[in-house]
Structures are given as structure tokens and as C-alpha cells.
Structure 1
Amino acid sequence: MNRARPEPDEPAPRVARPGDREPLARRASAARRWHPHWRWILLAITVLLVGLVLLVRLVVVDRLWPETRAQALLDDAALAVREGRLDAEDGSGARQLYEAAQALDPDDVRPRAGLAQVAEAAVVQARSASAAGRFDDAHRLLRLARELAAPRDAVIAVATDLRRREAAGAGLEDILLQARAAQAAGRLDGDGDTALSGYRRILELEPGHAEALRGRDEVLATVLEAARAALRAGDLQAAGTRIASARVHDPGHADLPDTEARLTEELDALRRRATASIESGQLERGVAQWRTLLAFDPDDAAAQRGLADAAAAYAQRAERQARDFNFAEADAQLHEARALAPDSDAVRASAEHVERSRVRHAQLGPRLPLAERTRRVARLLADASAAEARGDLLSPPGESAYDRLRAARLLAPDDAAVARASARLLPAAQQCFDAGLRANNLARARDCMDARAALGDDAAALRESRRRLAQRWLAIGDERLGAGNISGAGAALATAREIDPGVPGHAEFQQRLRTASIRTD
């Protein structure tokens, strides 16, 4: 029996097996899974390419070739000049556009040439505005021309023409008559319709007006004579005001140098007198003299140091009184010291000294015979009640109801009558603290807070009040630091930490203060 055999070159037919379908199924399933993944991959590649194009645009075009932006600004600026838009607050004026192009490339001469064209165009427009009677526009355009260094002769010519046209329509004769009338009535200077304001208006329009010049000279001579009279009377503020006015109207007036020299002499003499008053122990007089100088010039460094010296002297007085256990007078002296220098280290140290003396004195109380201690407490409570009836709850220092009651508490802290009196005074101390904060009188607020503590106020309320007060001192320190007063800012920070060591923001402020100190050094 013969069977057909396959040729040797022909592959043998493959016999399907049951397991052969599993690889095929897996491949088909994998293809189905990869199909959506490829779509996301292609999308990501597209986004990446777009981002790369934008990055090249920003880096290469805008940074490596900034002249394209500069050229665009120059083109816009030239168009603005042709359209007459020379200056605009929104940045669309020719001046602003040329300046922006100049900022991109300071070595490019084209923006400078463009600004010169703007200056010349401003002169032309100012001339046209003057001829049309638009005087405000003419003044504005002349200011622009001057700021851009337009040719001086051209600017002067237009300004002269502008003054002539303004004078023709202003009625100079009427203004002159009004100025003379004000001069005759004694209305020489100040606000309103005064002689100097009238003469100034005439001279602005016609600088060589002979009668206005003569009238102004006469008025200023009278004003400076009044300044010298004020100096003789010791009124530095009035003298300084009149001298400053004369300097504004005519800095070259013949009487001005002599009057200014007299003012300087008076100021120096007052400084010497104030220093001598403090050194001789006449603190009240010295403080008044230094305050007069500060009223004249709030930035007078010598006067500021003088008040600090006076505060230190008051603090020393307080220590001497405390050593003798005269706490009423010690508190009064401390009150004066704190009013002058609330954040002074010397005043703070003296207050601590007084408090230690007060504690030592109180410790003597238990050694007193019971009858004597009872008598003293009763007397102090009676004095406190009398002060309360007068309304002297927290002041004057040493004589107030609070000070009397504090002394009684030190002698007999557990006495029921003392506790009742403390409860009566506590609301007044709380109101006093709030009023001190509202008025930004931080020294007063601190005194009232101390009174609240001594009167047994709630501990949580006291913590919150200390934080508020410390934050206010930090705010003052920030103001001083902004004004360049580094030492004052440091003193304010020290006071804030003393009141509340954990006040928020104190560490950051200390770092700012340290940085500012390094820069100053």
C-alpha cells in the first residue's frame, strides 16, 4: 500500500495544538492595551515640542536679540511724535517709549536722538498753546521741554511770550491795587489775599515789574523786622516762620542774612541755657527749653539728647527717693522720666531699683508690731479712698488711689479691706490701659497695665494686654527703622521683649535690625 509523501522542499503542514491559541490571544490583548498609550505618548511629545518652540522664542528672540523689541519701541515712539503724543502717564507717549528703548540698550544713540526731537516738539507745541490762550498746556509743555534739555534760547523765548500773553489778560494793575491794599491793611503774608501773594503773582507774569519789586521789598523788610522782634521776645517759632517766608519770596533780600544770623545766635544761646538748667538740677526749666527747640526743629539732635539727659536725671531722683522709702515722690519722678524717654535703658533700670526698694520696705512690714501695721494700712486705705473720691485713681504719681493701695497691699496682702479696694479700682485701671493704647501713649498704657497686675487682674487678660502693648512697641520700632533711626528701633524692640518676651514678629524684626546695622556700618 503506497501513501503519498510530501516533497522534501515543502514544509510539513503544521498541526494545530490546543495551546497554540494562548500566545495569539495575549499578543492581540497587548496590542489593544498599547493602542491608547501610544496616543498619550504622541500627545505628550507634541506638547513638549510646542513648549520647546516657545522657550526658544523667549530665550533666543527676547534675550539674545533684544534689538527687535527696541526697534518696535522706536517705531512706536516716532509715530507718537508725528501724532503729537509727546508725554502720557500710561506709557504711550513718545517720551516714555524712547526712555523704554534707551533702558533696553543704553549705548544706542537713537533713543537719545528721539528724546531730543520730543524736546523740540514740546517747544513748538508750547508756542502754539500760548498763542491759542491755552496757558496751562503751554506751562506743561515748557516743563517737558526743560526736563528733556530743549535748546535754552528757544525755551526762554516761548516762556517770555507766555508771560506777556498771561499778563495782558490777567489785569496786572488790578492785582497791584489789591496787593497795595493788603499791605496797607497789614495782611502781609500767609494764606488768602495777602500783599506778598499779590506781588508774587505779578512777578511771575512780569519778573521786572518795578512797582511789584518795590512793594515786595517793603513787605519783606517789615516781615523780617517782625521776625527780629519775635527773637527778642523769645518766640523762636514765630521768628522762624517769618524768616522762612522771606527766604521763599526773595532769598537775596538785604535784611535776610542778618536776621538769620540772629536766629542762629538765639538758638545756640537757648541750647546753652537748657544744658545749664539740666546740669544745675532745674529739670523742669531745662525740659521746657529743650521742648521749645524741638518745636522749632523736630529733628534737632541736641534737643533730643537734652531730653534724654533730663529723663536720666529724673530717674536718678527717683532712686534717691526710693532709698529713703519715699515712694510717692519716687513714683512722681519716674513718671516724669517715662514721659520724656519711655524706652530709655536708664529709666528702666531706675524703675527696677525703685521696685526692689519697695519690696524690701514691704518685707519690713511683718516685723512691725501688729497694731502699727494695722494703723498704717488703715491710713493708706483712707488716703486711697480720698484720692478715689477726688477722681485721682491712677495719677498723680505717688498720690493716686492706686499708689496708696499698692503700698497697703505690700504691708497686708491678705487683708480683706485691701482686696475690696483693689476690686473697686481694677475697672479704672483697665479703662486707663485701653485709653493709653488708643492715644498711642504707650508709657501711660504700661503704667496702667502694671496697675492692673498689682490690683489682681485676670492672668489671661493680662497676657493678652501685654501682647497688644508689645506689638505696638514693635510697630514703633518698625517706624523708627524705616526712618533710619537704628538705635531707637533697637530700644523699641528691647521694650517690646521686656513686656512680652514671646511677642510674635520680634525675631524677624531683630534680623531686619541686624541687617540694617551691618549696612550702616
Structure 2
Amino acid sequence: MSRRPAHEDAAHAALRRVRSEGRWQARHAGRIWRWALLVAVAVFVLLVAFGRPLANWFWNEPQVEQLLDRGDRALAAGRLSAPDGTGAREWYQAALALDSDRPQARTGLARTGRAALQQAAAALDAGDTAAAERALALARELQVPQRDADAVARRLRDHENNGAGIGALLGRAESALQAQRLDGSDDSALPLYQQVLERAPNNLRALEGREDALSDLLQQARTAAAKGDVVAAASRVRSARGFDPGHVDLPASEAALNAALEKRLDEGRRLLRRKRWDAAGESFQTVLAARPDDVGAQQGRQAAIEGLLVTTAREAADFRFDLAGQALQSARALGATERQLAAAKRSMTQARVAERALTAPAGPAGSIEPALGELLERFDDAQARGDILTPPGRSAYDALREMQALAPRDRRVRAAAVRLLPAARQCVEDGLRENRVQAAGACLDAWETLSRSGPQADARQRLGQRWLAIGSERLGRGDVQFAQEALQQAAHWGIPATAAEYQALQQRLRDVDALR
């Protein structure tokens, strides 16, 4: 049997493979179509169930973010709600409608509610009840906490109840302003405006009215200062500062007042140099009524008091008791101390006793001897104790004056006067040496009263300088009151205000006062 050619075998083999594959495809074609159909059905179901959410996610996400951003901007601008839909509430609600699970939208609405409460409170402060009601209604719609909304509602009711009262107060305040009744009584413009602002701090009518009233009041202060009426000017400036310490016209008004006060101080100093004590004291008293802590006015007033007391003693010694009484009364009106007044009264009493003794008819020598002997004994005892001038009624000086009234020509009385002069001088020296300046001053007063001539001028200068030295030392230890008295006493004993020691202590007191 002959063999087939090789190329035929290859052809048969290829044919068999094709037939085999055809049979496999025929067997599996049905199965493949069944799986393809199953996959198609599954994809269709997925598209039906999740197609819309996925589409919303892909297409709505940018729109929601845009709405939230617009809501944030509207809230920052204070535009909480608007009829045209451009308020914060409308933007957040639109975002919530697109995505009900978006927490940013709900948070934005809560923030809008809180801002509405704040707007309601601010509107109440400004007196705008209509705006407060609208803001409160919006806050309630956005479901703010009930407690917070009720608190604002109570304020709104109180404001409405007082609304008529505020209107009446404003009307009265504006009438008072028109009549230029600015301050000084409860029915004046400034107190009435103040009552309105206590209830409604941002009330525009009250703020503008108070501004006008303060401007007019400070203008009155400057006018009074220009006329020299520093008391009225100071009162108006003080009142304006109490209502508004930052008022624009206050610095100029204070400058005008200070210039007027300095002018009055200079006037008082000129009157002191001319020894017109009453007029000088009045000038200084006027300055102190406007500025109670003015050191220069205090010193000037004290110098005027001292001058009046010296005048009292001099006039009494000359038996001009009417003039002495007038000077004493003026010193009391200026604020002389009880110690100063007591010394002046004692001088007047002694002068009256001396006058009666000089004008009374001479009696029998024996009738005055017991009284004179008792006075001599009092004189010796007081001198032995060192009571030259004080205490009143028990001093050697008092006993001597009574003896002079009884028997001015008695040799024992004249001898007592001669004995008292050295004692008075020695008392001054002892007081200066021991730094007992008060006692030294009392002894110097006695010396000057007993003898109108002598080296008292040197003693006065030394005593004044000693006061300044001790005052400076005590000021270093913090005793401001003693240092002030030392300055006054130095001026009383003749230390000029231009002296270097006087000016140094005065400047230190000013520095201490500025630091208080």
C-alpha cells in the first residue's frame, strides 16, 4: 500500500484541529452568552439603584460648596436674611436642600441664629425696637436656645415699657438745651441726656444732644475764665469732665482756666507785697475754691492770715479795738487755726486790761497789793517752769500783762518786764538750738511784744531758716504735712519766696504732689 504524501498529512491535521475547535465553541457558546446576559442585567440594576446619587455627587458637590461660601460671606457682612434670597439663612438652607447631611450647612444656620440674637441686643442698645423685634423673630425661627431668646425678649419688653419715658426725657433734655440750662439741677440738659444714655447707651439723639450741651458748657467756662470768674469756670470744666473726660473742647477750656488761675495768683502776690491782707487773702481763697490743692494759693493765704494777725495785735496795742476786731474776723474767715486765733484774742484781752488800768483812777496802794503779790508769785513760778508765753493763762507773759494793768509804774512790775526780756531771748535761743521751732516761735512772739526794738530781725531770719531745714529733713522721711507747714512758717518769719532754700523745698513739695 503506497504512503500518502507529507503535505496531505499536514492538511488533514489542520482540518482536524479546526473541526475540534468548532465543536468546542459550539459546546461553550451557550454558556458564554448566559454569563454575558447575567452581567448585563447586574450592570442595569446597579445603574438604576445608584445612578442618581452618583450623579448628584459628581454634579452637586461644587454647587453646595459655593452655596456654603456665599452663606459665610453674608454672615460675616451681617446680612442674616434677605427677601431676595441673598441672606445667610437662605444660602445655608439652599445648601441643606441639596445635601441634607452636610454638617456645615446646619452649623451655619446655628451661627446665623446666634448672630440674630446679637443684632437684636445691639438694636435695643440703639433704641431701635423694630429692628430688635425682626432680629429676635429670625433667631427664634432658627431655633436658638429658648433661654437666650427669652432674655432678649424680656429686654425688649422692658425697652418698650420705657420707650415713652425715654421719649419724654429726650424732649425735656432738648428743651433744657434750647434754654441753655445745661447743668446744676436734675432738670438740666446734661443730667437728662445721661439718664437716656443709661437706658439706651447708643441712642443717637441723646449722644448728639449731650455733645452739643458739653460744647456749650465748655464755651461758658472759657468765657467765665476770660472774665476772671475762675470759680464758675472751674465748676463748668469739672462738670464737663465728669460727663465726658475725652471731649474735644476740654483741653482748651482747661488751659483757659489755668491761665486765669495763674493771673489771680499773681494778683494775690502783688497785694501781699503791698500788705493789703484782706484783698490778698480773697484772691488766694478764690483760687483755692477753684483748685483746692494749689500749693501757691495755700501759702499765699497763710501769709495773708499771718499779716492780719499781726495787724490785730498792733491795732489792739494801740487800743484801736474796732480795727483789731475786723482784722481778727478776716483772719478767721480765711481759715486761721484756733491756736492763731487764741493768741490774737489774748493780745486783745491784755490790751483791754491795759487800757482800763491806764484810764482807771488810782486807788489806795493797799487795795491792789494782795492781787499784785499773787501775780508776782504766778510770774516767778511760770518763769521757773519755762512757761514764757504758753500755756495761755498760766504763762509768765500773761501774769506780767495783768501786773502792768494793775500797777504799770510799780518798780516790781518794771523789774519783772526787764527780767522777762532776757528770758524770752534765751527761750528763743534754746528753742533754736534744740530744734523746737514751735516753742522758739512762741518765745519770739513774746520778745517782740515786750520790746519793739532789738535784734529780733536776726532771730526771725534764723527761725525761718531752721523751719526750712527741718521741713526738708521731715519731707525726706515722708512727712508732707510738716513740710508744708514749714514752708508757711518760713514765709511768716520773713524768708522771701525767692530764697534758694525756700524754692528748693517748694519744688520738692510740687514733685511729691505730682506723684500722688
TM-score, normalised by the number of residues in structure 2: 0.36
TM-score by length of 1: 0.36
